[in-house]
């Protein structure tokens, strides 16, 4: 009888990190795979044309520990595979965490796949009780030695960590090579962009976090919009702003951003029905505060700048900024200067920024490494 893997994630980055592994396991047929999507991850699984179940298919209403106990009793998997996520003020029961905790009690081995170089401990801590590492899985697949060092410094056990890379990044270079000028034109037409140069802002900074962060998405959008509007006449017409909001952006934030855009003379666009990677490839410049999209842009050989005006806390894109892979601004003036230079100076944008980031690459083998780790944990 084949052994069974139960794969699940709630967080967008988490589900993206395990989708390639789920597909590989399904193709190789050495193990049975059951996938659970929950809220944000459901749309991503739909876009990937993947079969999945939800908690409602089990007759359950939530992702609580009790619900996950029932799922495990019904599925009886030999391994639990998850992405990673963390609690917040509105979400105490996080699917990846409650499923991992329930698996530990069975006991069923568990493997989590990391997607980003930040919030390491937070993804396994219970912020409601203060219990550190409450939701630790048996093994954690991580991106590289930078992540390993940071996690060891935070108290993770070395034997729990396995450097694999993030499977989500494996095919980015291939996607970039296959993206044509016709593809770019098609996306511009879908957006209705009349400008020659697309400036893409990948949003992921929420208003509720501004006190600790120093800025939020609307601050950045206004800064970009005003920078473009302040360019000389011929340059002003050259650039157009396209915005993609994070799937978890709070409704109040969305409403406030849309209200601002109605009054903007440069007519920025919010795009919902085009994938983030497609927008990066179609754009001439990607701007973000600290989104994974910055990593994707670099891996795909596209120019990227991090804008974090008034930064108060951590720079969660430090894997790129502190290693001098992409330029960054921590003040409004610096952000405006970087954006202006990237728009008006074609050589800086198309050559210098790309060359600056050229040493940061993936070998495209993370999916294979995580898949082999799954087989190892299953004793296949």
Confidence (pTM): 0.90
Instruction: Let me know whether 49 and 117 are in one domain.
Output: yes
pLDDT value, residue 267: 87
DSSP string across 291-323:
-HHHHHHHHTT--EEEE-TT--S--TTHHHHTT
Closest CA to 162 of 19, 6, 369: 369
Kindly state the DSSP code that residue 199 receives in the 8-state scheme: E
Task: Going from the first residue of the chain to its last (380 residues), give the mean pLDDT of each consecutive group of 10, the final group possibly shorter.
Answer: 96 97 98 97 96 98 98 98 94 97 98 96 97 98 96 98 98 96 96 91 97 97 96 82 95 97 90 96 98 96 98 94 96 98 97 95 96 96
pLDDT value, residue 194: 83
What is the total count of domains within the chain?
2
pLDDT value, residue 172: 96
Instruction: Let me know whether 87 and 19 are in one domain.
Output: yes
Instruction: Let me know whether 267 and 341 are in one domain.
Output: yes
Task: Provide the domain limits for residue 152.
Answer: 3-169+363-378
Instruction: Let me know whether 183 and 232 are in one domain.
Output: yes
Instruction: Let me know whether 207 and 115 are in one domain.
Output: no
Instruction: Let me know whether 141 and 185 are in one domain.
Output: no
Instruction: Let me know whether 23 and 152 are in one domain.
Output: yes
Model confidence pLDDT, tens digit, residues 19-77: 999 999 999 999 999 999 999 999 999 999 999 999 999 999 999 999 999 999 999 99
Instruction: Let me know whether 129 and 222 are in one domain.
Output: no
Instruction: Let me know whether 194 and 149 are in one domain.
Output: no
Instruction: Let me know whether 225 and 316 are in one domain.
Output: yes
Alpha carbon distance 216, 205 (integer Å): 5
Alpha carbon distance 245, 184 (integer Å): 20
Alpha carbon distance 85, 123 (integer Å): 5
Tokens representing 289 are 């505060």
Name 120's Cβ contacts closer than 8 Å, sequence gap at least 6: 114, 147, 150, 151, 154, 156
The crossing angle, in degrees rounded to 10, of helices 217-229 and 332-344 is 50
Model confidence pLDDT, tens digit, residues 196-239: 899 999 999 999 999 999 999 999 999 999 999 999 877 767 89
SS (H, E, C) 254-275: HHHHHHHHHHCCCCCEECCCCC
Look up the CATH number of the domain holding residue 12: 3.40.50.2000
CB 309 within 8 A of CB 290: no
Instruction: Let me know whether 50 and 78 are in one domain.
Output: yes
Which residues are 37's β-sheet partners? 9
Instruction: Let me know whether 163 and 24 are in one domain.
Output: yes
């Amino acid at each position: 009888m084949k052994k069974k893997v139960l794969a699940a994630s709630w967080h967008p980055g988490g589900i993206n990190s395990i989708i390639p592994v789920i597909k590989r396991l399904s193709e190789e047929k050495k193990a049975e795979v059951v996938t659970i999507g929950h809220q944000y991850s459901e749309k991503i699984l739909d876009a990937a044309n993947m079969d999945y179940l939800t908690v409602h298919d089990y007759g359950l209403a939530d992702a609580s520990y009790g619900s996950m106990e029932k799922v495990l009793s019904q599925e009886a998997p030999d391994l639990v595979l998850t992405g990673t996520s963390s609690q917040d003020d509105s979400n105490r029961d996080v699917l990846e965490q409650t499923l991992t905790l329930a698996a530990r009690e069975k006991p069923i081995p568990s493997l989590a796949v990391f997607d980003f170089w930040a919030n390491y401990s937070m993804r396994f801590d219970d912020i409601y009780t203060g219990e550190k590492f409450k939701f630790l899985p048996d093994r954690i697949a991580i991106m590289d030695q930078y992540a390993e060092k940071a996690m060891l410094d935070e108290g993770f056990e070395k034997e729990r960590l396995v450097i694999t890379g993030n499977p989500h990044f494996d095919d980015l270079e291939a996607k970039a090579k296959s993206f044509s000028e016709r593809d770019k034109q098609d996306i511009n037409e879908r957006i209705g962009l009349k400008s020659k140069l697309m400036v893409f802002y990948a949003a992921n900074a929420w208003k509720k976090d501004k006190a600790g962060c120093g800025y939020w998405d609307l601050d950045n959008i206004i800064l970009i919009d005003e920078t473009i509007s302040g360019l000389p006449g011929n340059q002003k017409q050259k650039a157009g702003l396209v915005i993609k909001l994070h799937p978890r952006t709070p409704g109040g934030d969305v409403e406030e951003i849309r209200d601002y855009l109605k009054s903007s003379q440069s007519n920025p666009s919010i795009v919902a029905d085009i994938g983030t990677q497609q927008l990066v490839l179609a754009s001439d410049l990607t701007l973000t505060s600290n989104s994974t999209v910055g990593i994707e842009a670099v891996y795909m050989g596209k120019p990227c700048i991090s804008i974090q005006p008034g930064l108060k806390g951590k720079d969660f894109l430090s894997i790129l900024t502190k290693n001098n892979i992409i330029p960054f601004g921590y003040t409004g003036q610096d952000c405006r200067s970087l954006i202006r230079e990237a728009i008006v100076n074609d050589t800086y944008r198309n050559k210098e920024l790309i060359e600056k980031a050229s040493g940061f690459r993936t070998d495209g083998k993370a999916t294979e490494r995580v898949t082999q780790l799954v087989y190892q944990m299953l004793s296949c």
